[in-house]
Structure formats: structure tokens, C-alpha cells
Amino acid sequence: MTSNRSVIRTEGIKKAYQMGEEVLWALQGVDTHIDQGEFVAVMGPSGSGKSTYMNMIGCLDVVSEGRVFLDDIEVSSLKPDELATVRNQKIGFVFQQFNLLARTSALDNVILPLLYSQIPDSEWKSRAMHCLELVGLAERSGHQPSQLSGGQQQRVAIARALVNDPVMILADEPTGALDTHTTEEIMTLFTELNDQGKTIVLVTHEPDVAAYAKRQMIFRDGSLVADERAENRRSFNIDDYQASA
Amino acid sequence: MNLLQLFRIAFTALKLNVLRSVLTMLGIIIGVSAVIVMVSIGEGAKAEVDKQIEAMGGNILLLYNDWNDRMAGGTGAVAKLTDGHAAMMEQEIFGIDAATPIVRSNAQIVAGPLNWRAQVEGTNNGYFITRNWDLAMGRQFTAQELQSGETVVVIGKIIRDELFGASDPIGQTVRVNNFNATVIGVLEEKGPDSRGDEQDDVVVMPLKTVRTRISGVSRNNPDQVSYLEVKGADNVSMNYLKDEITSYLRQAMSVRQDQNDPFRIRDMAETLESRAETQAIFNRLLAAVASVSLVVGGIGIMNIMMVSVTERTREIGLRMAIGAKPDDILNQFLVEAIALCALGGMIGIGLAYAITRIMETSYGMATLINPEIVVISIGFSALIGVFFGYYPALKASRLQPIDALRYE
Ligand SMILES: Nc1ncnc2c1ncn2[C@@H]1O[C@H](COP(=O)(O)OP(=O)(O)OP(=O)(O)O)[C@@H](O)[C@H]1O
Ligand SMILES: [Mg+2]
């Protein structure tokens, strides 16, 4: 199922936050490896470092120690400008709060990443429309976020994440603000995208959501405590890890 | 991203908050329009003077008796300028086109049931040369009329309109104080002078007629005139002419070495120009004061840009997450500030244009908006945008993507 091409590799990454006198280690040495085409659910109790891990591999924040490789580029040593380019070309973000620009049409929201790319502006509209079709919102392209339901807004955000044809999609609790039915729709969409070959990493608290993924990583207290693929997940029980939070 | 796209983003952002954008621009709008209005009043005054000097035909010297000096000297027997001096100067001094004696008085002019109080100038045909003033109809004085002081008049446009309306005044009789005079000519319309006095409200007669019948003859100086007007030739320096006239008159009036000139010479063009220059300097000073409001406007822009950066921290975080470089964010906010200022500047220019039009049409003030000041003020307000927009934009670009995204 998984090809050999590595999308993410982390080597002993640590992240420290200074809290007054004390130093808080949000990540304390995490080694992970994600190949192209994988669908990973990152789980664990609140405060276990899931978001911190996502921010590191998403090039939104820098590690205190260790190294991060994205598409075989060592991103932990890049400068802000280079990181921006990497984010633009290789990563598509989906956020819990959608983060769409208000009073801006769905189409223009999807076009946004293209503004910062090398792609010629003559292609912008057709690319964005294509992505809106993929998420089933082509006929809503002129709508503004306030005129769309939560699920539709998240679809627009997913279209935006796809528009630069990134190597992976990072989603931090993408269904956290959605009801069960809409959650199912969004997860079905992610599954379809993964079937088409997109690498997807998503953070979630819900086992139902994690069940869509083919692999689950469990964090606790800043460490990776379990990493299992679906085929040998028979003995796996998320509650073992959640309960101790 | 190119500049056009940056401006599109900026205008989209400004459009989302129209009222705030307009209020923010207000300082710039007022500042720019105040500066332009002030400068254009000064420029207008100067242009008006140039027009008057041209109408005057340039090179005019005004010679008049120095009454102050007589009081200072206290002798009472100081010589006065006469029509004889005018005639002699025309012949003796090189570079004089005409030297015209003028006796000034005023009189009641009556034609039928209508009457009008007018300024009367007694002179000769040189008047039409030094004043650069042609006749709209009729003729100048004949030698005979000047010689014997006949009762003939050339009237100004206003007198003609007041007393004759549309009917032909030539050959008509008017009563001047207590004698009848025949209208022989009508002067062309000249309009008000630089002080706003009507120049067309005038009656011109032979010098001798005015002296004997209206103003009366001075016992001490029977040939005395109110003033002399001298028109210099085109290629003659006015300073040279002043020197020549001074030395000629001192000799002709037998003024001793240790005595001051009993007359004054005024260069009309110079006087007008220096008055306009004073006004222009004054207006430039006002413009400088007005430009302080531009700076205040700039601070207003800075303030609102700071608010805008804070308000849109999450947007900044999002843009960074999807690939905006720090410079992209810097440019975005900088262009927004510049767009605000430039737009404010343009509205300010429009407002200034409207104000100057109103001043011209309603208050008769001369104004002149020259293209230079328009370009300068747009450039200057854009510069204010750069200056006051830079710090907020820099602040925005220095945000860490993750901190900006998390901002609540
Ligand atoms: N900017 C920060 N400054 C200080 N401490 C931070 C910061 N961000 C995260 N932390 C701390 O790091 C730890 C890990 O945080 P993180 O956000 O990664 O948790 P999480 O697993 O995503 O939790 P949740 O499920 O609640 O989202 C927490 O203890 C948190 O308090
Ligand atoms: Mg989290």
C-alpha cells in the first residue's frame, strides 16, 4: 500500500516552551516516518503535544532540538522565506476553525495560496474551480463564508489546501467544529483524496474519526507512545491511552 | 505577486471597511486640499499680476509729487511736477515712448435724467499710449481741443452703460458739474485693477479743460499735475530710465545737492510684482502650516494600520501558513497604507479644485492650480503612507506564523 517515498521524517525532535521560570517540554524526542500515500490519525490526550508535532512537520514553528525532513529536504534548518515557499508548495493546511477570509468568495479563498506561488495567474481560476469541483462545491464558488454551512466552509478550506497540489495535507482537528453527519461527509472526502494518492495527517480526539485513517499515532506527554497500522490494529484500543490523560 | 495584485488586495481590504477608510483618509484629504488651496491662491495672485502687467503694456513708471518732503522741508516753495516736464522729458530722454501728464479730480456727470459721480482725468493723447488703452468707438482729442481746453469727453465703459445704455453716445451732450461737454469717444472695457477698483469708471478730458473748469488752478504752481505716467521703450532698462528721469527732473526743478528728490518714481510692474510676491510668501507659509495636518493625517493612518494589523492577525497567520513570505505581508500592509494616502491625496485634490472654483466664482479670487503642486502632493501623501505605514507593516511581517494563527 505505501510506496517507499518518504514524505515526513523526524529525528528526535524536541520543543521547549519557556513558562516563566520553568521550561515546558511539549515534545521530548519524537522519531516518526510517514511515507507518501499514508493516511495518519494523530491522537492522544489534551496537551500531549499533537498540535506541536503538526506545527513542526507543517513548518509553522521551529524545533528546539532534532531534525525534520519534508520530502527529503531538511526543513528544520531553513530560513523564514524558504519555509514559506515549502509551506506553499508542499503542504495544504486544514484548520478546526476553517480560517477562511470573511466577505471573500469561496473561489477567491481557494485562489489565495496561488497568490504566493509561481503559478501564472491565467491558471488561477481554472485550478481553483477544479478543486471546488473535487470537494463538490463548484456551484457555490461565488458564495462568501457567511453564506455557507460549517461543513461547506470546511470543504472550501480543503479545496484551498489542495489548490497548490501539495505532497501532504495537514489537518488539526478538522471536524472539531462539525456535527456527526458533517464529520462523516468530510472524512469521506479525506478518504477519497487519500485513495487518489494524497498523503494525509490529521489530529483528532474522536475514535470514529481516527477509524477512517490507515495508521494511528498516539502521543502522551510529548512522546509518541504507539504507532500502529490498520492491518495489525486488532488489539489496539484508543481508550487505553485516553483514560490516563 | 505583482504590484497590481497588491493594490487589488489593498483595495479589497479597504472596501471591506469603507467608513473607516474614509475617516482615516480625512486627515490626508484635508491636509492635501488645504496645501493646494493655499498655494493656488498665491499662484493665482501672481498670475493675475502678470496679466495686469501685460495689460499695462509693461515698462510703466509713475511719477508723483512727494508731499511728505514738503512738510519735512517746511519751505512750501518746493517745485512740483508739471505738464511741461512731461513734454520735455519725452523729447530729451532717450528710451521714453510717452510721458503723459494727468490731473485727477472728480465730477458729477449728468445725461438727461441720469447722473453719475465719476473720476475725471485731464490729460492728452499720450494717455491712450501709457495706459495701453484703445477706444471702443469714437476718436481721441484733436490738437485744437487740447490746446484751447474744449469741452469734449472720452468716457469709460461704466459711464457709457450707466448714462446711455444701448444707445449711441457719440456726439451726445453730457453735463459735467456746471458745463456741457460733447462725448467724442468711448474707452474699451478694462475691468477692475489689482485692488479691485473699477478702471472703467472714468471720464477723460483735455488737461486744460479739467484744470480750468473742474480742479481749479493752483496759485503757486499753475502748471502742476497730479502725476506723470511714463512708458519706457521695450528694450530699455527701467532702472536706467529711473536714473535718467531723476537727474533730468532734479535739474529741471533746480533741486540743490543736499536736498531730497521732491518727487517719487514708482515702477508699476515692480510694485505689483512685489505685492504678489508678498502674498505668495504668506500663502506658502499658510501651506506649510497646513502641511502639519498632513503629518497628523499620517499619524492617523499609522494608528488605524496598527489596529488593522492586530485585528487581522489571524488572517496574517493564515496567509503565512499558505505560503506568504514576511515580505509579502510587509508589502500588503505597506501598499494598503500607501493606497489610503494616495486615494486621500486624490480626493484632496478634487476638493481643492472645488474650493478654488467656489472662491473664483463666488468671491472673485484669482487662483491657479498648477500641475506641479498636484504631482507633488500626491507624491508627498504616498510618501506619508510609506513612512507611517512602514512600522505597522513591519510589525505584521515579523509575526511568527504559528503565533499569528493562534491569536485570539
Ligand atoms: N505557545 C505556547 N507557549 C507555551 N506553552 C505551549 C504553547 N503551545 C503549546 N504549549 C504547551 O505545550 C503542550 C502541548 O500543547 P499542544 O497544543 O501540542 O497540545 P495538543 O496535544 O494539541 O492538545 P489539544 O488536544 O488540547 O489540542 C501543552 O502543555 C501546552 O500547554
Ligand atoms: Mg491541539
pLDDT of residue B3: 83
ipTM reported for the complex, 2 dp: 0.92
In the prediction, which pLDDT does A84 show? 96
* Sequence letter at residue A100: L
CATH of domain A6-244: 3.40.50.300
pLDDT for A141 equals 95
Pairing of strands A91-94, A223-229: unpaired
Residue at B251: amino acid letter:
Q
Q: How far is CA A60 from CA A30, A77, A80, B182, in A?
A: 17, 13, 9, 100
Would the CB atoms of A101 and B326 count as touching at under 8 Å?
Answer: no
pLDDT value at position A3? 52
- The rounded Å distance from CA A84 to ligand 1 centre is 23
For residues A22 and A227, what is the distance between their CA atoms, to the nearest angstrom? 30
What Rg value do the Cα atoms of chain A yield, rounded?
18
Task: Please report, rounded to a whole number, the percentage of residues in chain B having pLDDT higher than 70.
Answer: 96
pLDDT for B75 equals 52
Q: Are B57 and B221 in contact (CB under 8 A)?
A: no
Cα-to-chain-centroid distance, residue B232 = 24
Structure confidence by residue, pLDDT tens digits, B37-90? 888 888 888 888 788 777 776 688 889 888 765 544 445 556 788 888 888 888
List Cβ neighbours of B210 (8 Å cut-off, separation of 6 or more): B103, B105, B120, B121, B122
Dist. CA A23 → ligand 2 center (Å): 19
Question: Of A3-12, B104-113, B313-322, which has the strongest mean pLDDT?
Answer: B313-322
Domain extents in chain A: 6-244
- Look at residue B269 in the predicted model and tell me its pLDDT: 80
The minimum-distance atom of ligand 1 relative to the CA of B402 is 1
Ligand 1 centre from B308 Cα, in Å? 28
Instruction: Tally Cβ neighbours within 10 Å of residue B233.
Output: 12
Question: What pLDDT sits at residue A235?
Answer: 44
Comparing B118 with A244, which gets the higher pLDDT?
B118
The model scores a pTM over 0.80: no
Burial tier of B292 (Cβ tally within 10 Å: 0-12, 13-18, 19+): exposed
| Ligand 1 atom showing the smallest separation from residue A49 Cα | 18
Q: Which residue in B has a C-alpha nearest to residue A104's C-alpha? A: B12
Q: Check: CB of residue B170 under 8 Å from CB of residue B137.
A: yes
Q: Is A85 on the interface with B (CB under 8 A)?
A: yes
The alpha-carbon gap from A231 to the nearest alpha carbon of chain B, in Å, equals 34
- The shortest C-alpha distance from B196 to chain A (Å) reads 58
CB contact A99 to B (< 8 Å) = yes
Mean pLDDT of B332-359: 92
Size of interface A-B (CB pairs under 8 A): 64
What is the nearest CA distance from A85 to chain B, expressed in angstroms?
A: 6
Beta bridge partners of B136: none
pLDDT tens for each residue of chain A, 245 residues long? 445 689 999 999 999 999 889 999 999 999 999 999 999 999 999 999 999 999 999 999 999 999 999 999 999 889 999 999 999 999 999 999 999 999 899 999 999 999 999 999 899 999 999 999 999 999 999 999 999 999 999 999 999 999 999 999 999 999 998 999 999 999 999 999 999 999 999 999 999 999 999 999 999 999 999 999 876 544 445 555 554 43
Which strand ranges, in their side-by-side order, compose the sheet holding A91-94?
A91-94, A168-172, A199-203, A39-43, A215-220, A223-229
Query: Chain B contact for A89, CB < 8 A?
Result: yes
User: Would you call A93 and B322 a contact, using CB atoms and an 8 Å cutoff?
Assistant: yes
Residue A5 has a pLDDT of: 87
What residues does ligand 1 touch, defined as CB less than 6 Å away? Answer: A 17, 19, 24, 26, 44, 46-52
Question: Minimal Cα–Cα distance from A39 to chain B, Å?
Answer: 21
Of B206, B180, B189, which is closest to residue B110 (Cα–Cα)?
B180
**Least confident window among A77-91, A209-223, B226-240, B270-284:** B270-284
Q: Which residue owns the Cα nearest ligand 1 atom 25?
A: A46
Among A101, A121, A170, which would you mutate to test the B interface (most chain B Cβ atoms within 10 Å of its Cβ)?
Answer: A101
Tell how far the Cα of A51 is from the centroid of ligand 1, in angstroms. 7
Q: How far lies A242's CA from each of A43, A44, A192, in Å?
A: 9, 6, 28
B242 C-beta neighbours (distance < 10 Å), count: 17
Strand ranges of the sheet holding A73-74, from the earlier edge strand across to the other edge: A22-35, A6-19, A65-70, A73-74
Which pLDDT belongs to residue A160?
97
Asked if A82 is an interface residue toward chain B (Cβ–Cβ < 8 A), one would say: no
Least confident of A78-82, A137-141, B24-28, B284-288: B284-288
With an 8 Å Cβ cutoff, are B1 and A160 in contact?
no
| Alpha-carbon span A102 to B16, nearest angstrom | 9
As a whole number, the mean pLDDT across chain B is 87
Which of A61, A87, A102 comes nearest B323 by C-beta? Answer: A87
